[in-house]
Amino acid sequence: MPDKKPKSSTKKFEKAGAGTGSGTYVLRLYVAGATPQSIKAITNLKRVCEEYIPRRYDLEVINIYQQPALLVGEQILATPTLIKKLPLPLRNFIDDTANTEKILLGLDLRKKDRK
């Protein structure tokens, strides 16, 4: 009988938390209404997700005017703010959704240059 290595608790949490299988990104984007900045943030983030992690992401867009109670729980100070819930580690991006490289670094899809 082959040896089965125990799965780490972090791996189990990531898989269970994602709900749609291993490697799924759970993202929340907080925006302030339907402003040009909000629309640009949504469009850019969807483009990055479709290009780099197609069918492996769950994106929830939250309009802070419609759901203000969520601001307190997530400690949102500015919009647009992107929160990467899974895979761990948790990451927050404030107003960086137009910068593809920063999004890729934050989602751990690109390695940071060490100079």
Query: What is the CATH number for 96?
Result: 3.40.30.10
What digits encode the pLDDT tens for the residues 17-75?
Answer: 444 445 899 999 999 999 999 999 999 999 999 999 999 999 999 999 999 988 888 88
114 in any annotated domain: no
| Phi and psi angles of residue 87, each rounded to the nearest 5 degrees, phi first | -70, 155
15 in any annotated domain: no
111 in any annotated domain: no
pLDDT at 15 over 70: no
Structure tokens at 55: 């069918």
pLDDT at 3: 46
4 in any annotated domain: no
Mean local confidence (pLDDT), 74-96: 90
Q: Within its chain, how far is the Cα of 35 from the centroid? A: 21
Give the pLDDT band (50/70/90) at residue 110. Answer: confident
User: What is the domain count for the chain?
Assistant: 1
Beta strands of the chain (E only): which ranges? 25-31, 57-63, 81-86, 91-94
Give the pLDDT band (50/70/90) at residue 7. Answer: very low
Q: Domain residues for 86?
A: 24-106
